[in-house]
Amino acid sequence: MLPILPKLPPAILAGMFLGALLPEEYVGAVLGESSGLLGIVVATIIGAALPGGPMISFPLAVALFSAGAGMPQMVTLITAWSVLALHRVLVFELPLMGGAFVKQRLLASVLLAPLAGLLTELIIRLMP
């Protein structure tokens, strides 16, 4: 935990600055609470394609959330980044584990991120 501490303030600041640059009406339309299943699909694609570690993904999620993205969509984005992460698949998983493993793992887990978003939406409706 100690090596991460110096990196936290710049990451938080980057997220805040990025949030100020994002057009709220666009973010709200594409990833807002009312974007529903389409927003969850878009968040899955963004999360899967998002390169880098938590110092990039979490400030971006904070920025999108501040700019009007919905909670289910952000749960989807972070879950897709955690589970699918195409950059990790290409750099580590495919060369080390092979194509058959990657295919099976992705087929088994591709619906986890959208499911997490839909479950979040359901939980919000049941327990506001």
Q: What is the pLDDT of residue 84?
A: 96
- DSSP E strands: which ranges in the chain? none
- The band of 22, judged by pLDDT with boundaries at 50, 70 and 90, is confident
For the chain, the domains span 2-126
**39 closest CA partner among 65, 66, 12:** 65
How does pLDDT run across 46-89, given as a tens digit for each residue?
999 998 888 888 888 988 998 899 999 999 999 999 999 999 99
Does the CA dihedral 94-80-58-62 come out positive or negative? positive
pLDDT surpassing 90 at residue 24 = no
DSSP code of 63? Answer: H
